[in-house]
Amino acid sequence: MNWQLAATAAALLAACPASAQTPADRLNGRSVFTRDSSGALVAQPQVERGSVPQATGNVLDRYRAAHEQRVLARVFGATGGAIGVVDAPLLPISDAETEAWMQFIGFRDLPIAIEPLPPVFVVEKVDYVPPSGRLAFRNRFRHTRWAYAGTTYRTPIDTSRTWRLRAALEGRYGPPTQTLSDLGADVRLGPGTAFMFEYWFVVNDSIPLLVTDAGSPTDRGLVIGTDGERRVPGALLRDLIFAALPEEPLRPFVDYRFEPEARTWEVVGYDGFRLVRRTISRPDFRLEGRPRLDALAAPARGTLPR
């Protein structure tokens, strides 16, 4: 220890004698300052349980305790025992965006605008294939490996009645691209091959899309398929194109339906008020073609919309 430090320590120790702190009352030189009855500051050293006091002869420890006492006495004497809060220095901000972000962090009361990520896929064009375009569609996409465009979550498309979605498709696009009536009189129908309607589309001039029923008008949802070898997820196409379909206006329609298990035929449609189903004999597709709306006017078993 050099002589200057020793001299300073001696002077401070003279102002704060060693008797003010003892090994039993001190730990690491930390003290709590209070005022006695006369108003003078008195150091009350803190003692932690299980601590081991240091020796009283350690001049540096006594110097540190005395220095702490004098500094706190000066502060308490000037402020009356209260220590004011000092504002943190402000950092220079180079642009408005950083300033807004810093304000948001500091005050939590400003909105934050985040640029959305660019979409993975954008539907720019959806071409409905009318009945007259079936042959061209088949020739163009004859090598397509169709895949189900399903999801692991439920949407309004999945929970809406199939007949209501069929009526909404009629309102948006018109008649289906293909129905049972278009397959010919000699077609063999069985489980997995019978359907009521099919809508065909071409998305962005290159992606085929097929929409059909699940088998019964009172089922829920639609079966939607697309090219399984493309990188565009079928579920994404479904949500982008048909998400609003359950909320769209309904338009009357009528279809033929074959029930494979009972081997029976039905006329199924929406007459503008209710779902209508009527059992019929097998229609002669060569003479009759697609059914007309007036086929729903015959005696039928009806179900009110729900």
CA-based R_g, the chain, Å: 43
Of residues 175, 187, 178, the one with CA closest to residue 253: 175
Helix/strand/coil percent split, the chain, to 5:
35, 20, 45
Q: Where along the chain do its domains lie?
A: 3-79, 126-303
N-to-C CA span, the chain:
95
pLDDT string in tens for the chain (306-residue length): 444 444 444 444 444 444 444 433 443 445 555 556 665 555 555 544 444 444 455 677 788 888 888 877 777 776 666 666 666 666 665 566 666 666 666 655 545 455 555 566 788 999 999 999 999 999 999 999 998 887 777 889 999 999 999 999 999 999 999 998 888 755 666 665 678 899 999 999 999 999 999 878 999 999 999 998 887 777 888 888 999 999 999 999 999 998 888 888 999 999 999 999 999 998 888 778 899 898 888 654 444 444
CA distances from 243 to 20, 70, 184 (A): 81, 75, 33
pLDDT at 2: 46
pLDDT at 267: 93
* Nearest-angstrom CA–CA distance, 80 and 23: 30
Could you tell me how many helices (H) and strands (E) the chain has, helices first?
8, 12
Which residue reads 């949500």 in tokens? 239
pLDDT at 18: 42
Cβ atoms within 10 Å, residue 186: 7
pLDDT at 27: 39
pLDDT at 262: 84
